[in-house]
Structure 1
Amino acid sequence: MEDEPLISSTSQDTRGAEGIVQDDDLHTAPYSDLEQPPSRSREVPQGDSGAGKDDTTDTSVLLVVAALTLTSFLVMLDMSILPTAIPQITTEFHSLRDIGWFGSAYLLASSIMQPLTGKLYLGFGLKYTFLAFLGAFELGSLLCGVAPSSKFFILARAAAGFGSSGLLNGALNTIAAIAPMHKRPALIGFMMLISQLGMVGGPLIGGFITQYAGWRWCFYINLPIGAVSAIILSALTIPDGFVRTTAKSTTKLSVFLGLDPVGFALFAAFTVTLFMALQWGGSVYEWSNPVILGLLCASVGLFAFFSVWEKFVGENAMFPYSMLRKRVVWASCLTMFLLQGCALVYLYYLPIYFQAVKGASPLASGLYNSPGIGSQMLLAAVSGVLVGKMGYYLPWVLVSGILGLVGSGLISTFRPDTSPVAWIGYQIIAGVGRGCGTTMPMVATQRVLSPEQIPLGMSLVAFCQSFGGSMFLTFAQVIFSHSLVDGLRRFAPTVDIQTLIDAGAAGLRKVVQPQELPGVIEAYNLSFTREFYLAAFAYMAVFFSAWGMGWHSLKK
């Protein structure tokens, strides 16, 4: 017997016997910036005891949301647990120069796959596609735990990134399928609230595990959590709606061609060549080296070919121009790109400050990093609930840009002797700024898209989230590496730079003489503070990009 959707439309002329969308307006041209998709109220299917019951209190719906929240918690935990362990990883693998790759490999793989995830959900349905992504993420986590070298670890992070690429998109699509528009901000806010407990607990859990069990257990912990989520989802019915309709009306070949494999190959090649140029430039090779120049030229050429191909393919493209032309969509994508980039600068480099500059243990570093993450988590949930009640999302993004700029500017003043009152307060200001804007690009994008466009729209936003994080981590690594070498030459000229780099952030005090230590700490502090000039510039850009999302109310 075929699974029935948990939520069905109350309009009798919009769905057939199998819940298939039949409205003509769902197949028309995309809505303009000022237009909205037709309103469709939703309710639980009529039954003996469920008539009139509110959809968000249905037991099955709550279990689906709980499983999605658990998976989102796992992804957030994985993101926040790694930075606390990075100083120890760099010490074991003698790979301080690879810090950028530890985060970028994961986000690069995720961003390459992101544009395809919406089409995969459209072609193969929600439930089993989501479980496949979750399985890939779990496999990558296992490989991270057994990694024998830095290069293997980077490849394992890429495998986990491929898996994570479809998890957020799948969670958002499922919430869109089971809840009306005015309830989605609250559900998304709830999911972000609980899942971002992983962001808060990640540094503490990672510090404790790294200090007492070893950093590899930071990845083994993903396996039982992911298994629980997979078991719950396997036992539940996931509403497919239009997704299931698309899968029925196409062949396997047409689904494959609809994924735009040529566009995927061109985009993957462009992204890899660009990241290789940015990672190697100035460290492995000089920027004027033919290798770097060749990679940069190749990335420009590949992007040009990719753009032409996407225009030629039309609506089957990875990035359909009809959707990107919507001002709200491209402004939301740009805003998410900047917000996530800033968030990861904070996430990856504050532990470097506490462990390398302050000399804190991994566990203490996680504790010191929690004020900013905790305030971010709280405001992400509060803003999601309030925007559902107040209607307007733009003010929250503007506040995010302003507070983020102020917080980044204050953190860039950190010194080795900065007091706890200062670094706690500054983190809270920045965390509130990050939390205010976290969910708003997703909400704004859903507001202007018709139901069958939402999976692709969410994949675009999620792509910009991953791609923004990977790009900013690459930029940050370039800034950090150059600033560290520059600082060591200025403040500790007698130190063997290569020996210090090989020692890693957690091992610097073991390889320098006592009289050299203050200069080395000063060099690390210089490298850290320069990262937040980048974050401040990005938050300034957020304030301007946010206006493109429009002053619209979700209540209309």
Structure 2
Amino acid sequence: MAPYRKGTADLLVYGDSIQSIFSSHLHFKTSFPHTEAPPYEPSPCLSYLRTTRHYFRRRLFCTSTMATSQSSQKGPLSSKTASVHAEPSNADVQEEPPVLAPKLDREYVTGVKLYIIVAAVAFVSFLMLLDNMIVSTAIPSITDDFHSLADVGWYASAYQFGSSAPQPLTGKIFKYFNTKWTYLVFFLIFEIGSVICGAATSSPMFIVGRFIAGFGAAGVATGSITIISLCAPLEKRPPLIGLNLGFSLLGLVLGPLIGGAFTSYTTWRWCFYVNLPVGALAVLAILPLRVPEEMIKPKAWSLLPRLYHYLDLVGFALFAPAVLQLLLALQFGGQAYPWKSATVIGLFCGAAATAVVWGFWNRRCGDDAMIPLSMIRRWNVLFSGIYVAFLTSAVYAGIYYLPLYFQAINGVSAIRSGIYLLPMIVSQLITAGLSGVAVSKIGYVIPVAVFSTVFLAIGTGLYSLLQPGTSSGKWIGFQILGGVGFGSGLQLAIIAVQAAMNSEELASSIAFVVFSQAFGPTIAMTLYNLIFLESMRSQISRYAPNVSPKAIVDVGATGFRSFVSPADLPGVLQAYANSINRVFYLAAALATLCGVFLWGMGWHDLRKKEESSVSPEAEDTKRGGEDMHANRPTEEGEKLA
């Protein structure tokens, strides 16, 4: 790196001199009184020199300590010369990540190719959520085969940990490596995890497969939004991203239905094998198409010697254990172990200590960290992440606890409870696309975010009114209100970040938002479960004192009907309804908090972003031509000469 920087410094020293020679040469040729000035054409050489000088000054400029001290004692010209000619020592110079040269000629995908890419990416995103939900109905059969009822918690937490902890790291990976091939590699990892789950012969093998599948899903989630952002201009992204996110939500509803069908009529292993042929179709659609890049990325082999530095693997090694310990503490607390037990307290303390160490390391790495400080310090990125975390946390209460209401209180089957969720899912699909169009027309995300928050808070709050015997018209209307709120707000955080961040930081900022979108519901679901179980114990004792609360909790959502007497059944149903309502109290509060943080997403006009998103190097090239044109004598000046 040292010789390369020395050559860069020489270019900075002599760049102005060479540029002035070319400028004076052009001026000399056009200053004769009897010579007609040729029509102005920007010199490619001058444009290149201006671009290169500006680019290396911003990206590779390295000032030694000696030069800095000298510059404080000399004038502006001397300080510039001293800072350039000072030979940096080995102690002062640190190798930095490879330069990502911006492309001056940006191209987008149009026509049929664009829709094929968006459809394939949306289908892969659908498979991710389908795989996340399909296991819910297969868990009873899996525990029967492996005789591992105690490992049920690991089946869910392994996938959640695999998909949430590596999420910020995926942004760095997409930043330095080819987007399309990186996306396909992550999808291959997901498929490998699905194969391991389907072929598992023991519970530990199944848990490992779930973790691998979650790791692949983390990269696919970031890559899906990144690919759409690279293929379409900013003003066209909102409806495309909305359709992608809306279509993927179908996996939340169809997952239990498909899982129940496979488990009932074939075997639970097909819940995971089905990803292979279906995923191959999406790969075949993406493989022959070219995904444009915003940056000229280095060769993959050139990154290997310093891969730990470019990707901040040390930061990931600290961040992942902190997330794992927090998830385990929330998973075990109040269920496997008491909250005051040494195990739960130790996990919380370990998570806090590891997070503190990671914070110091992240501060030391600065912009090279897995989650760059410069990105977190931007209010629009931070508030967008918090906004989407509260948004998804609120809607997950309806996705998970409305089926519980339908099955436990109304006594319907698992398949029918999934059908009863269609009002919410259909309204989400429709409004996800319409909100993208609205953002493109309005130009700002905050007005649509206000609309989303109002509907989501009202719909989620109305869920708490559900009681035994509530008419279908009410819960259908409540779901439509909540679905409109969630569908219209799901993509807004990603759009706001895209409008505020430059090309180099786009992948990392998207990864941060996707991480917030995954990590928020993980914490919220643990709190929902805690509220529900504690409320069930107190409500059963109040409305059905002759029934054991532990027996009701242990048998599941529908098993209590087999041993509860007809006289005690109304009390148990009322206890179930009140406990579910308390969950929706918290969900409504989280939806309301979205109204606080949405104002920090920024008032960035998306209609002007595309015009102002030209890279600094391209701006300098353009200004170079304008400066030459301004310095060129006018016809009147030539005649006077």
Q: Which residue of 1 aligns with 2:586?
A: 534
TM-score normalized with structure 1 length: 0.84
Amino acid at match of 2:395: A
Q: Distance in 2 between matches of 1:528 and 1:215?
A: 29
Please say if 1:290 is aligned against 2:342.
Answer: yes
Q: Which residue of 2 aligns with 1:192?
A: 245
Q: Which residue of 2 aligns with 1:413?
A: 465
Residues 362 and 385 from structure 1, CA distance in 2 versus in 1: closer, same or farther, beyond 3 angstroms?
A: same
Residues 146 and 194 from structure 1, CA distance in 2 versus in 1: closer, same or farther, beyond 3 angstroms?
A: same
Does the 8 A contact of 2:449 with 2:598 survive in 1?
yes
Of 226, 230, 254, which residue of structure 2 is paired with 1:177?
230
Q: Distance in 2 between matches of 1:492 and 1:151?
A: 40
Q: Distance in 2 between matches of 1:87 and 1:526?
A: 27
Q: Which residue of 2 aligns with 1:24?
A: 55
Residues 102 and 311 from structure 1, CA distance in 2 versus in 1: closer, same or farther, beyond 3 angstroms?
A: same
Q: Which moved more, 1:188-197 or 1:380-389?
A: 188-197
Of 487, 491, 504, which residue of structure 2 is paired with 1:452?
504
Q: Which moved more, 1:343-352 or 1:136-145?
A: 136-145
Q: CA deviation at 1:184?
A: 1.5
Q: Distance in 1 between matches of 2:157 and 2:133?
A: 14
Please say if 1:463 is aligned against 2:494.
Answer: no
Q: Which residue of 2 aligns with 1:338?
A: 390
Please say if 1:357 is aligned against 2:418.
Answer: no
Q: Which moved more, 1:482-491 or 1:541-550?
A: 482-491
Residues 385 and 107 from structure 1, CA distance in 2 versus in 1: closer, same or farther, beyond 3 angstroms?
A: farther
- Within-5 A mapping of 1:101-116: 103-116=156-169
Of 321, 324, 343, which residue of structure 2 is paired with 1:269?
321
Q: Distance in 1 between matches of 2:275 and 2:388?
A: 26
Does the 8 A contact of 1:122 with 1:246 survive in 2?
no
Amino acid at match of 1:157: R
Instruction: Name the count of aligned residue pairs.
Output: 522
Does the 8 A contact of 1:331 with 1:548 survive in 2?
yes
Q: Which residue of 1 aligns with 2:448?
A: 396
Does the 8 A contact of 1:104 with 1:474 survive in 2?
no
TM-score normalized with structure 2 length: 0.74
Please list the CA deviations of residues 41-75 of structure 1 after superposition, one character each: whole Å capped at 9, or x if unmatched: 8446xxxxxxxxxx421x44333223212212222
Please say if 1:258 is aligned against 2:289.
Answer: no
Q: Which residue of 2 aligns with 1:551?
A: 603
The unaligned stretches of length 5 or more in structure 1 are 1-10, 30-37, 45-54
Amino acid at match of 1:540: T
Q: CA deviation at 1:489?
A: 2.9
Q: CA deviation at 1:109?
A: 1.9
Q: Distance in 2 between matches of 1:550 and 1:67?
A: 31
Q: Which moved more, 1:507-516 or 1:373-382?
A: 507-516
Please say if 1:328 is aligned against 2:359.
Answer: no
CA RMSD in angstroms comes to 3.4
Q: CA deviation at 1:147?
A: 5.9
- Within-5 A mapping of 1:122-201: 122-145=175-198, 155-199=208-252, 201=254
Residues 397 and 355 from structure 1, CA distance in 2 versus in 1: closer, same or farther, beyond 3 angstroms?
A: same
Q: CA deviation at 1:112?
A: 0.3
Identity of aligned residues (%): 41
Of 163, 171, 196, which residue of structure 2 is paired with 1:118?
171
Q: CA deviation at 1:492?
A: 3.4
Residues 386 and 445 from structure 1, CA distance in 2 versus in 1: closer, same or farther, beyond 3 angstroms?
A: same
Does the 8 A contact of 1:103 with 1:470 survive in 2?
no
Q: Which residue of 1 aligns with 2:622?
A: none
Does the 8 A contact of 1:70 with 1:195 survive in 2?
yes
Q: Distance in 2 between matches of 1:418 and 1:96?
A: 35
Of 62, 66, 83, which residue of structure 1 is paired with 2:115?
62
Q: What SS does structure 2 have at the residue aligned with 1:134?
A: helix
Does the 8 A contact of 2:225 with 2:241 survive in 1?
yes
Q: Which moved more, 1:65-74 or 1:423-432?
A: 65-74
Q: CA deviation at 1:141?
A: 3.1
Using CA pairs under 8 Å that are at least 6 residues apart, name the structure with larger relative contact order, 1 or 2: 1
Does the 8 A contact of 2:458 with 2:482 survive in 1?
yes
